[in-house]
Amino acid sequence: MLLSRIESPADLKQLSEEELEELAAELREEIIKVTSSTGGHLASSLGAVELIVALHRVFDSPRDRILFDVGHQAYAHKLLTGRRDRFSTIRQQGGLSGFTKVSESEHDAITVGHASTSLANALGMAVARDVQGEDYKIVAVIGDGALTGGMALAALNKIGELGKDMLIILNDNEMSISPNVGALAGYFKSLQVQKWVQDAEKVGKGLLERISPRLFELADRAKEATKMILHQENPFYAWNLRYVGPVDGHDLKGLVYLLERLKDLSGPTLLHVVTKKGKGYSAAEKDPTNWHGASPFNPKAPTAKKSGHTWSQAFGAAVSELAKREEKLVVITPAMREGSGLSEYAREFPERFLDVGIAEDVAVTSAAGMALAGLKPVVAIYSTFLQRAVDQVIHDVAIEKLNVVFAIDRAGLVGGDGPTHHGVFDLALLRTVPNLQIAAPKDALELRAMLAAALEQGGPVALRWPRGAVEPAPAGAWPQCNWGRWEIVKQGSEVYLLAFGKTLAYALEAAGSDPRVGVVNARFIKPLDLDTLAALAGEYRLITVEDHQRAGGFGSAVLEALESLGLRPKLRILGLPDRFSDQGKPERLHAEAGIDAAGIRKALALFGVAPGLPTPRAG
């Protein structure tokens, strides 16, 4: 094993070209082996193996800074930078992050998870480097999907203007998470069929060696001349970038040769590399969407395992059914067709489905445009990604009370994706926004009831549900929704637990059959059900429980409401503490945060209502 001898990228410099190829094969094997037992971002990491080997061969990390956009394609990078021994802990609690993470390794230049941030980071680093008179290299590796995110394009605009030295590698696999969308993607594709690339493919890898020197000669000329010759009607010309490519991203020798020659050029250069997601693992090559974030699998008999019925599927089924009777319904997603359970909907209603690509702001504001034009848009978005469109919710939707429903998936702690992806801020971000209503269903049936009611009554409504499994609701079931009213699920004589969504089950478990403990499905978070709250607060002690940050969340809303009502019951707020939660199984993280059944029981005990013990009567 060559890999076992690589302790840091410096060790790559010693290998022969043939050994580098061997190393790439070993990396691929290791990635498949480990992700088959842990799950993880298999397809994108397999696609980037040769590119990463070439980068570490040519550049000098950590002195040179290699920024991986999104960071989930960097498994090979982790294996080459001193983390081989811990690689099997990836995405586990206390283990390696599934993304690059500054606090994990000096070789991880940025902490990521969300897309399109690498170029703004690279811009800042380049300014900082030059201000401080340093001369290290900066390389940003960004996928075609992430590059068409607005933030990346806007950063490119400034990078081109300043002309800072850096290398941007467009890792073009024609695929973000769902197949990529947007005019630029089509354009990149058209570049791939340019004659000389086709020639290269016909004759085989050998030819790239002949092509590369020519490219380099061109690229090395005076900048102006370069652009004139190389731009080939390409959009980067307008951005003042030197464009080189496209080249085969799996030809390791060719990549090394080219990077050696590009690394010392001044100004910004964009190298367009074409790779294949899942490269080297045929199941993933054939179905990269379903192998994007793979669950553990059997490498000998690979199937992209699906968990049972999920909240996403429950939403997808509900919205597909609703669309049959509600002609004005339309669904928007920012590149999350499969993730949001919308594959079937998109097939059935292609005209009423808009995937805007990795552009959450565009998703929300195009929904505003649709609402202004008479439709009833549903924006299907993960909680963590809605963070990227807060202003659009406020400015484009809420001010004019437009009929937009936000279907917020993966709210709460999400698991292995960790702190960049936990959906634990949405309630705080949204509940300060006027005109917006917020609700959270306890199960798939209530999801259907709320979704239908939200569309019916109009105005902006946010519905949130967690990641993971949920009991499916029967097709055709459309229960009434008593909009705005909480549901008293269990009566109690001393304390009421106010919970919703995922924490409702914990509350019921904690209450058990104790007659002193009542449980409320506090499913409407904005506005709160003030009548029920006032009635309870006048007589009972209260404990709120939420899978969300304590700061600014549901409990905080209850406190504000009680202040308005002039009520001061004894109350405890259970929520996530004021720090970024680790990656790990949500149930375990809930336990650590004290919001699971055991945590609730502890809070009950502090109120003198310890399970199984009589209550000492006190005010």
Residue 261 a catalytic site member: no
Residue 214 a catalytic site member: no
Which span (39-47, 83-91, 510-518, 566-574) binds a copy of itself, by CB under 8 A?
566-574
Which residue, 35 or 117, is less far from a copy of itself as judged by CB?
117
Which residue, 2 or 551, is less far from a copy of itself as judged by CB?
551
Q: Tell me which of 153, 488, 489, 530 binds a copy of itself, using CB under 8 A.
A: 153
- Contact flag: residue 100 with a copy of itself (CB under 8 A): no
- In angstroms, the first-to-last Cα distance of the chain is 70
In the complex, the smallest distance separating the C-beta of residue 551 from a copy of itself, rounded to whole angstroms, is: 5
Which residue, 431 or 490, is less far from a copy of itself as judged by CB?
431
d(CA 586, CA 583): 8
Q: What angle do CA 88, 90, 92 make, to 5 degrees?
A: 105
Binders in 313-342 for a copy of itself, by CB under 8 A: 330, 332
- Contact flag: residue 127 with a copy of itself (CB under 8 A): yes
Q: Tell me which of 23, 55, 58, 156 binds a copy of itself, using CB under 8 A.
A: 156
Binders in 31-60 for a copy of itself, by CB under 8 A: none
Please count the other Cβ atoms lying within 10 Å of the Cβ belonging to residue 112: 25
| Number of residues located near a copy of itself, criterion CB under 8 A | 117
Binders in 383-402 for a copy of itself, by CB under 8 A: 385, 387-388, 390-392, 394-396, 398-400
- Contact flag: residue 218 with a copy of itself (CB under 8 A): no
Which residue, 441 or 555, is less far from a copy of itself as judged by CB?
555
- Contact flag: residue 369 with a copy of itself (CB under 8 A): yes
351 half-sphere exposure, CB direction, 13 A CA radius = 5
CB-based contact 125:102 (threshold 8 Å): no
Which residue, 92 or 240, is less far from a copy of itself as judged by CB?
240
- Which candidate in 28, 83, 277, 523 is catalytic? 277
> What is each CA distance from 253 to 5, 57, 249, 258, in whole angstroms?
21, 11, 10, 9
In the complex, the smallest distance separating the C-beta of residue 149 from a copy of itself, rounded to whole angstroms, is: 6
In the complex, the smallest distance separating the C-beta of residue 152 from a copy of itself, rounded to whole angstroms, is: 7
At 487, phi and psi to the nearest 5? Answer: -125, 120
> Would you mind telling me the total number of residues written for the chain in this entry?
619
Binders in 232-261 for a copy of itself, by CB under 8 A: 233-235, 237-241
* Helices and strands in the chain: count of H runs, count of E runs: 25, 17
- Contact flag: residue 434 with a copy of itself (CB under 8 A): yes
In the complex, the smallest distance separating the C-beta of residue 57 from a copy of itself, rounded to whole angstroms, is: 24
| Bridge partner list, 294 | 40
Binders in 570-609 for a copy of itself, by CB under 8 A: 570-573, 578-580
- Which candidate in 174, 321, 338, 360 is catalytic? 360
For residue 294, the 8-state DSSP code is B
CA proximity to 280, closest of 288, 268, 270, 290:
288
Binders in 481-540 for a copy of itself, by CB under 8 A: none
Which residue, 35 or 333, is less far from a copy of itself as judged by CB?
333
Q: Tell me the residue type at 144.
A: D
Q: Could you give the dihedral angle defined by the CA atoms of residues 140, 141, 147 and 150, in that order, rounded to the nearest 10 degrees?
A: -40
In the complex, the smallest distance separating the C-beta of residue 275 from a copy of itself, rounded to whole angstroms, is: 21
| Bridge partner list, 407 | 380, 463
Residue 388 a catalytic site member: yes
- 352-382 burial by CB neighbour count: b if 16+ within 10 A, else e? bbbbbbbbbbbbbbbbbebbeeebbbbbbbb
Binders in 256-315 for a copy of itself, by CB under 8 A: none
Q: What is the DSSP string of 202-222?
A: HH-THHHHHHHHHHHHHHHS-
- Residues identified as active-site: 277, 360, 388
